[in-house]
C-alpha cells in the first residue's frame, strides 16, 4: 500500500546545501510525480516545461501576539503555551497551526471560566513566522533574555488538532529530573488517553528558549492524519474535528495546571 497518493502538492521550506548548484525546484503531488516518472521511463528525452511564480518579497513588520494570566504566588515564574500564527499560503493553515493557536488561547480561557487563580504566570503566545525563518520564536526568546524573564516551561502545539496521545518533553541536560517529574504525572493523565510521555522534543517556536534552561514540551496528538493536510491546500477548517480539538486544549490545560501547582524543581 505504502504512502497515500494525492493530487495536491505538499509545500514547505527549501534550502540549498553550501556549494550545491541552485537548480530550480518545486513541490509536485505524489500522483503527478508518478506520472512524470512513467513518462520519463517511456521517453528518456522528455522535455518538461515548468513555470513558477514564487517570489521572496521585502520584509514587512509583523508581530507575536501574547496574552497572560498573572500568577498570584510566583508571578515571575512563567509557563508559556503557544502555536504559530503564520501558515503556507496555499491552504488556511487550520491544523498547521490554527489549531495550536486556538488551543493555547483555550487553555487560558478554561482557567478563567473555572475561576482558577494560577500561582505562576501563564502566558499564551501566538508566534509569528514559524514557517519561514522562525523569527517570532527567536525574537520572543531574545526579548525574554533581555527582560530577564524566568520561563520554567514552554508548551507548543504544532502537530495538528487531533485526539490527544501524550507530550514530548525535553529538559536541560543537567536537569533530567525535571523531565522525570512530568513523566511521573502519567497516572493522572493516562485515564484521559494521554499515555505517551517517552519522546523528547518541544516545538520549533519554543526551541530558542531552550538555551535559557526552559523545559520544552510538545503536545502530542494522534499523528495519522496530520500529513494528509500539512502544508497543502487541504489544510482547511472543515478538516478540524471540534471534539478532538477541545480534548487537546483540555489536555494542555491539565498539564499546565500540574506544573502551576507543583512547579518544576
Is position 138 an interface residue for a copy of itself (rule: CB under 8 A)? no
Torsion of the alpha carbons at 103, 199, 225 and 237, rounded to the nearest 10: 10
Q: Which of 90, 139, 212, 246 binds a copy of itself (CB under 8 A)?
A: 246
Residue with Cβ nearer a copy of itself (16 or 192): 192
Residue with Cβ nearer a copy of itself (137 or 160): 160
Is position 241 an interface residue for a copy of itself (rule: CB under 8 A)? yes
Q: Alpha-carbon distance 203 to 216, whole Å?
A: 7
Is position 69 an interface residue for a copy of itself (rule: CB under 8 A)? no
Per the annotation, the verdict on 130 as an active-site residue is: yes
Residues 85-124 as x/- pattern, contact with a copy of itself by CB under 8 A: ----------------------------------------
Lookup: cell for 125: 503566545
User: Does residue 191 sit in helix, strand or coil?
Assistant: helix
**Residue closest to 254 by CA, chosen among 210, 193, 213:** 193
Is position 30 an interface residue for a copy of itself (rule: CB under 8 A)? no
Chain residues 169-228 in contact with a copy of itself, contact rule CB under 8 A: 193, 195-196, 222, 224-225, 228
Q: Alpha-carbon distance 50 to 258, whole Å?
A: 54
Which strand ranges, in their side-by-side order, compose the sheet holding 215-221? 65-69, 120-127, 74-84, 150-156, 215-221, 164-170
Q: Is 139 exposed, middle or buried (0-12, 13-18, 19+ CB in 10 A)?
A: middle
Is position 247 an interface residue for a copy of itself (rule: CB under 8 A)? yes
Lookup: cell for 209: 528558549
Residue with Cβ nearer a copy of itself (98 or 161): 161
Residue from 77, 106, 130, 149 carrying the catalytic annotation: 130
Is position 4 an interface residue for a copy of itself (rule: CB under 8 A)? yes
As annotated, the active-site residues are: 130
Residues making contact with a copy of itself (CB under 8 A):
1, 4, 163, 165, 193, 195-196, 222, 224-225, 228, 241-244, 246-247
Amino acid at each position: 500500500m505504502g504512502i497515500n497518493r494525492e493530487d495536491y502538492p505538499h509545500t514547505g521550506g527549501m534550502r540549498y546545501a553550501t556549494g550545491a548548484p541552485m537548480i530550480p525546484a518545486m513541490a509536485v503531488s505524489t500522483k503527478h510525480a508518478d506520472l512524470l516518472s512513467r513518462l520519463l521511463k517511456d521517453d528518456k528525452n522528455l522535455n518538461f516545461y515548468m513555470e513558477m511564480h514564487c517570489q521572496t518579497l521585502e520584509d514587512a513588520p509583523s508581530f507575536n501576539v501574547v496574552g497572560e494570566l498573572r500568577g498570584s504566588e510566583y508571578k515571575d515564574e512563567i509557563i508559556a503555551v503557544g502555536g504559530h500564527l503564520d501558515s503556507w499560503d496555499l491552504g488556511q493553515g487550520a491544523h498547521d497551526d490554527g489549531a495550536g493557536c486556538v488551543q493555547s488561547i483555550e487553555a487560558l480561557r478554561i482557567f478563567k471560566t473555572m475561576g482558577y487563580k494560577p500561582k505562576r504566570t501563564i502566558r499564551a503566545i501566538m508566534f509569528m513566522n514559524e514557517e519561514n525563518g522562525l523569527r517570532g520564536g527567536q525574537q520572543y526568546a531574545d526579548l525574554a533574555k533581555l527582560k530577564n524573564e524566568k520561563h520554567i516551561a514552554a508548551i507548543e502545539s504544532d502537530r495538528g488538532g487531533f485526539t490527544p496521545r501524550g507530550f514530548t518533553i525535553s529538559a536541560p541536560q543537567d536537569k533530567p529530573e525535571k523531565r522525570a517529574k512530568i513523566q511521573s504525572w502519567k497516572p493522572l493523565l493516562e485515564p484521559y488517553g494521554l499515555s505517551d510521555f517517552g519522546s523528547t522534543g518541544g516545538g520549533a517556536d519554543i526551541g530558542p528558549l531552550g538555551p535559557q534552561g526552559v523545559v520544552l514540551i510538545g503536545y502530542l496528538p494522534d499523528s495519522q492524519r496530520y500529513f494528509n493536510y500539512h502544508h497543502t491546500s487541504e489544510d482547511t477548517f472543515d478538516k478540524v474535528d471540534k471534539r478532538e480539538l477541545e480534548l487537546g486544549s483540555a489536555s494542555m490545560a491539565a498539564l499546565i495546571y500540574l506544573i502551576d501547582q507543583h512547579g518544576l524543581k
